Amino acid sequence: MSEVLVVVEATKEFGVKKVTLEMLTLARELGTPSAVVLGGAGAAEALSAKLGEYGAEKIYAAEGDDIDGYLVAPKATVLAALVQRVQPAAVLLASAQEGKEIAARLAVKLDNGILTDVVGLAADGTATQVAFAGSTIVKSKVAKGLPLVTVRPNSVTPSPAAATPAIEQLTVSVTDTDKLAKVVERVAEQKGSRPELTEAGVVVSGGRGVGNADNFKLVEELADLLGGAVGASRAAVDSGFYPHQFQVGQTGKTVSPQLYVALGISGAIQHRAGMQTSKTIVAVNKDGEAPIFELADFGVVGDLFKIVPQAAEEIRKRK
């Protein structure tokens, strides 16, 4: 079977991201998965056990400051050379900012079609995408070149399949043009122990109804009890209740957890765009006419400050 390249998405804090395991699982249905690690020195070694656990038969590594010290251009150059050498059956990247950006440059370099926000990929290269805030399902294909696809997190259930990948170090030869956008500083912001928003199985989000930044503690409490991530609607972010990186919706993150809990969120289309494909949606809102109830599998009309503490207490009892 031919090789399928999976470009690894990982963070220093969490290691291999779940979307990478999803991509490896998907790749196994299309061919033989090879992981591609583009990062700082030693990155591939650190990630290899996990990648092997999910079926990576081989790991290609391009590492060092020439890769890690700039925005995506050097990564795209290295990846383009690899694609031309191994002629894979498909290239999968994460449908997050960096994955999309690498894919964008790869598409231009190879004059190859690109499909983003893919939630399924058949062996014949037909991809399933969700468009317009989840309201439309699209089947599409790359018409020129190989399937170059970015996969939306939480689209595939990752399943392990042990392999023992060997690491092949790639020669990193990038041009000056690749090094125009230099990273001069990386600042880690406190994050706590919560799972990453786009990867979490449970997301608890607060909206304007939460009232102020201090009250978000209630949202955080419920999220922590459920082992979930905290999200916020745009109204809550714009009002300064919660930082922008946690915004769910059209101009923020798209999430697709098993359980989405919307607290004090009316459910404007802008918010729905980011959470509509969640498996089960629970909403608490004072306004029984709020559009969020059109989506909710389970809705409670009432004061979240009365309901959430009761729910929290009940969950605590059952833990």
Partner 1 sequence: MNIVVLVKQVPDSGADRNLRNDDNTVDRGSANNVINEMDEYAIEEALKIKEAHGGEVTILTMGPDRATESIRKALSMGPDKAVHVLDDALHGSCAVATSKVLAAALGQLGADLVICGAESTDGRVQVMPHMIAERLGVAALTGARKLTVDGATLTVERQTEEGYEVVTASTPAVVSVWDTINEPRYPSFKGIMAAKKKPVQTLSLADLGVAPTEVGFDGATSAVVEHTKRPPRSGAPRSPMRARAASSWSSSSPPKSSCESGSGHV
Interactions with partner 1, residue window 87-116 (CB under 8 A) = 96-97, 100-101, 103-105, 107-109, 111-116
Largest CA distance in the chain: 61
121 lines the binding site for partner 1 (CB under 8 A): no
Least separation in angstroms between residue 291's CB and partner 1 is: 10
Task: Please give the single-letter amino acid code of residue 301.
Answer: V
13: exposed, middle or buried (Cβ count in 10 Å: 0-12, 13-18, 19+): exposed
Q: Is 258 helix (H, G, I), strand (E, B) or coil?
A: coil
User: Which one among 6, 30, 76, 200 touches partner 1, defined by CB under 8 A?
Assistant: 76
Cα–Cα dist 113/140, whole Å: 11
Least separation in angstroms between residue 283's CB and partner 1 is: 7
132 lines the binding site for partner 1 (CB under 8 A): yes
288 lines the binding site for partner 1 (CB under 8 A): yes
User: Which one among 73, 218, 223, 262 touches partner 1, defined by CB under 8 A?
Assistant: 73
Cα–Cα dist 140/128, whole Å: 7
Least separation in angstroms between residue 190's CB and partner 1 is: 9
Nearer to partner 1, 1 or 269 (CB): 269
99 sits in the region (left: phi over 0; alpha: psi -120 to 50; else beta) called: alpha
Cα–Cα dist 126/278, whole Å: 23
Say how far residue 217 (Cα) sits from the centre of its chain.
25
122 lines the binding site for partner 1 (CB under 8 A): no
Site for partner 1 in 33-72 (CB under 8 A): 71-72
Nearer to partner 1, 34 or 247 (CB): 247
User: Which one among 65, 137, 164, 173 touches partner 1, defined by CB under 8 A?
Assistant: 137
126 lines the binding site for partner 1 (CB under 8 A): yes
Site for partner 1 in 205-224 (CB under 8 A): none
User: Which one among 15, 45, 141, 164 touches partner 1, defined by CB under 8 A?
Assistant: 141
Cα–Cα dist 196/12, whole Å: 13
Locate 103 and state its tokens. 């894919």
Locate 83 and state its tokens. 């694609």
The site string for partner 1 over 7-36 (x = CB under 8 A, - otherwise) reads ----xxx-----------------------
Cα–Cα dist 109/213, whole Å: 46
Least separation in angstroms between residue 243's CB and partner 1 is: 9
Locate 262 and state its tokens. 């919307």
Locate 51 and state its tokens. 């990648």
316 lines the binding site for partner 1 (CB under 8 A): no
Least separation in angstroms between residue 163's CB and partner 1 is: 27
Cα–Cα dist 216/237, whole Å: 11
84 lines the binding site for partner 1 (CB under 8 A): no
193 lines the binding site for partner 1 (CB under 8 A): no
Give the CA dihedral 93, 105, 63, 162, nearest 10 degrees: 20
Site for partner 1 in 225-284 (CB under 8 A): 244-245, 250-251, 268-270, 273, 277-283
